[in-house]
Amino acid sequence: MPAASSFGLPPLLGVSQLIRALSLLGRSGVPLVAVQSKVTRHHTRNIARVPHSQITNGLAAHLTRAAASAASLRPRSATEDSIQPLPEVSPDALPIVSIGDNKVAIGWDTRTWSRFHNIWLRDHCRCPKCFHAITKQRLVNTFEIPHDITPVTVQPKAEGLEVKWPSSDSHISLYPWAWLQQHSYDPVIHKTDAEKDKVLWGKKIEKSPPTVTYEEAMSEDDRGLFKWLTNIDKFGFSLVQGVPPTPEATEELVERIGFIRETQYGRFWDFTSDLAKGDMAYTTIALGAHTDTTYFTDPCGLQVFHLLSHTDGSGGASLLVDGFYAASILKELYPDAYDVLSNVRVPAHAAGEPSALYRPSPPSGYPVLSHDPVSGELTQVRWNNDDRSVMSHLGPQLVEEWYSAIRAWNECLTSPDSEFWIQLQPGTAVVIDNHRVLHGRSAFDGKRRMCGAYVGVDEYRSKLAVLREKFAPDAVLRTTNELPMAVANGRNIWNSAL
């Protein structure tokens, strides 16, 4: 008898029912959809907690009903058990602080304490002697700090924890309360920043896809740019409407985000289906949902494309699929397949041009689903079955399991519930996060002219972080911007990214 697959595949009409299993009850009693990722078979962690109201797949009603029962079926993860966000410290009720053996303890309330090692605190001093306020680089000589350093005194002040260190020049450090809460590691305190919210979507996104206008995107005050990049961060894509249907205007639009990332396809592409480059994108055949440049060590971050014209033919609808949504379905329906895709590396190549032969480093490639090793959060989907190289590294015991896993993944990606089809018209550009959203197209005839470009993921993230500082400061920035010597050269030294 042939070996059965580890996970038999039920017909996908079950997705709508089975997605109910996604829901959990939040601490507050508000139903949440918690998307979980298993980094290994032994560690289950949250990858995103999405407020229920933000789920746009149209299955919200089913989710609510199932929330309580799903919650009772599922053990709480370590992250869920960690301490919830604390309120801002008020000057009338300062935390209790005390010096322990090798740590300083801060009592936020009667039940919640954070502990910081002395050496950690001394190393993170941000006084002008220890941290360059303009360059935001460390000045303190970490290796001169005595291993057993102990504060002389610790004092709760309105602005934060004041620590006096033993030294001839009476070294005093001040750590803002919100900063200490944000960086508390013993225990980790939950963060609530809006940047954690990702909206997972399916087909129903077609009713109101995230969109900005060309005027907004180009407006000098950057508010529209912030809205645009926030759309991409939350949804993994955004449309831009009203773009003049020219390569020049489209290129200017891309440059609002940052440097264009040049690749073997050029810097800014302007192409028709003439196979000018040895890639199927340059043909008229249908392309299934995939991410681009899976054969790079660092796949392109954003992809911008803009249909400039389509004459003498039809077809060529564009397909977008939220890879994080599909992954959340996979995890619920086929947790073993999710594990396989999170662990098995997939080699890939780009070899259609005689002058180039791309492979990622290491050549064994990367798993289809990549996670933040610290938080367990799903961070990247990398999937293009057409670009896959030889799978000679699986081991005989994994071969059938792996093929079953990618079959399950393919079912999640190609479910009608997952697919957002849009017939683009000249004037509407699409920007997608190539680390999350897969794209494809239907076959077409006639002459189609497309243009577009890539932007590196770091470039895009940097721009978004700068705009967040300005338009959506987090709790630390809100409470420390007024502190003396906090802001130099336009940036706060307590910024959470530093």
Nearer to Zn ion, 47 or 493 (CB): 493
Length in residues, the chain? 498
Distance between CA atoms of 98 and 105, rounded to whole angstroms? 5
Cβ partners under 8 Å of residue 468, min gap 6:
195, 226, 474
d(CA 396, CA 242): 54
Query: Does the CA dihedral 219-265-319-426 come out positive or negative?
Result: positive
Distance (Å, whole) CA 281 – CA 318:
12
Closest CA to 256 of 464, 421, 115: 464
Residue 34 found at the interface with Zn ion (CB under 5 A): no
Q: Does 119 bind Zn ion (CB under 5 A)?
A: no
Q: Which is nearer to Zn ion, 138 or 449 (CB)?
A: 138
* Site size toward Zn ion, by CB under 5 A: 4
CB of 129 to Zn ion, least distance (A): 5
Which residues, 382 to 421, sit near Zn ion by CB under 5 A? none
Stretch that binds Zn ion, among 68-76, 125-133, 276-284, 435-443 (CB under 5 A): 125-133
Q: Is 174 in the site for Zn ion (CB under 5 A)?
A: no
Nearer to Zn ion, 43 or 129 (CB): 129
Among 66, 125, 438, 476, binds Zn ion (CB under 5 A): 125
The residue with tokens 């935001």 is 136
Out of 130, 145, 149, 317, the residue judged to bind Zn ion by CB under 5 A: 130
- Under 8 Å CB-to-CB from 44, ≥6 apart: which residues? 36, 37, 38, 77, 376
* Footprint (CB under 5 A) of Zn ion, residues 179-238: none
Least distance CB 485 / Zn ion (angstroms): 12
CB-nearer residue toward Zn ion: 90 or 141: 141
Interface with Zn ion, residue 149, by CB under 5 A: no
* Residue with smaller CB distance to Zn ion, 173 or 404: 173
From CA 28, how far away is CA 41, in angstroms rounded? 29
- The CB-of-141 to Zn ion minimum distance in angstroms stands at 11
Judged by CB, which is closer to Zn ion: 121, or 125?
125
Write down the least CB distance from residue 181 to Zn ion, Å: 21
| Shortest Å distance, C-beta 171 to Zn ion | 6
The span from the CA of 35 to the CA of 37, in Å, is 7
Minimal distance, residue 128 CB to Zn ion, in Å: 8
Binding of residue 163 to Zn ion (CB under 5 A): no
Whole-number minimum distance, CB 163 to Zn ion, in Å? 9
127 near Zn ion (CB under 5 A): yes
Supply the minimum distance, in Å, between the C-beta of residue 173 and Zn ion: 5
Using CA atoms of 272, 278, 280, 283 in order, give the dihedral in degrees to the nearest 10.
Answer: 30
Cβ nearer to Zn ion, comparing 129 with 267: 129
CA–chain centroid gap for 340, Å, is 21
Q: Which tokens in the block code for residue 251?
A: 């290129």
Nearest alpha-carbon partner for 171 in 122, 102, 115 = 122
Part in contact with Zn ion (CB under 5 A); list of ranges 19-27, 90-98, 126-134, 248-256:
126-134
Decide whether 164 or 190 has the Cβ nearer to Zn ion: 164
Please report how close the Cβ of residue 360 comes to Zn ion at its closest, in angstroms.
42
Question: Distance between terminal CA atoms of the chain?
Answer: 58
| Residue in 464, 497, 458 with CA at minimum distance from that of residue 299 | 458
Using CB under 5 A as the binding rule, whether residue 275 contacts Zn ion is answered as: no
The distance of closest approach from Cβ of residue 160 to Zn ion in the complex, given in angstroms and rounded to an integer, is 14
Closer of 73 and 134 to Zn ion (Cβ): 134
284-315: b (≥16 Cβ within 10 Å) or e: beebbbbbbbbbbeebbbbbbbbbbebeeeee
By the rule CB under 5 A, 172 interacts with Zn ion = no
Residues that bind Zn ion (CB under 5 A): 125, 127, 129-130
